[in-house]
Amino acid sequence: MSKIELLTPQNSVLLVIDHQPQMVFGVANIDRQTLKNNAVALLKSAKVFNVPTILTTVETESFSGYMLPELLDVFPQQDLLERTSMNSWDDQKVRDAVAATGRKKLILTGLWTEVCINMCAFSAMADGYELYVVEDTCGGTSETAHRASMDRMIQAGVVPMTWQQVLLEWQRDWARKETYDPTLAIVKEHSGAYGMGVDYAYTMVHKAPQRTSSIGTIVK
């Protein structure tokens, strides 16, 4: 395996760490609604491509609260691996779940960047995994804390990515028709101006019918 080898649905595993209300409250480097949008988009992407996705939480009932429901909605039948340690990699359940996938390209998303992401990344690297951190789905307690943590991880060999970069790297070829429409559906819902551009192309270039909503349609 090599970091210059592209991510594929067959070589990746996603670990989702502590997207919980108490952790979100402390995030200061990114708009919290944007953070949630990005995290949901990443999980939807993993589901479309059948990438093994592991959900872990810390001190749910005593401190952090339940994982954000929008994330749970993506994997409603998924078991949550509850922990006490800030470092997910200290928990045997988490290590076993990742190892069971047989994949070495480990993608991380979670809160906070400078604590739970940082420690897990270094510990997993020590065990031989290649680490990728989806930066725009992670949050730190300040811009400085987030940036210093990302810099520290990058210096150690962690690869920074964005959720849309991960999605499009998994898709890679628009000839892959089985995931073409689901990929564009995620883009339209979560990618802001790019998603609006896709809608524009569908209607103005490909003459797709107008999409309707509960608000109503245009009357001419």
Catalytic residues: 116
């730190």: which residue's tokens?
A: 140
- Quick count: other Cβ atoms within 10 Å of Cβ 65? 16
Residues 149/135, Cβ–Cβ less than 8 Å: no
164 vs 86, 119, 179, CA distance in Å? 27, 24, 15
Dihedral (CA of 143, 87, 133, 77) sign: negative
Euclidean distance between CA atoms 16 and 108, whole angstroms: 6
Q: Residue 42: is it exposed, middle or buried by C-beta count within 10 angstroms (0-12/13-18/19+)?
A: buried
Pair of tokens at residue 108: 């991380």
- Give the angle 89-113-140 at the CA atoms, nearest 5°: 150
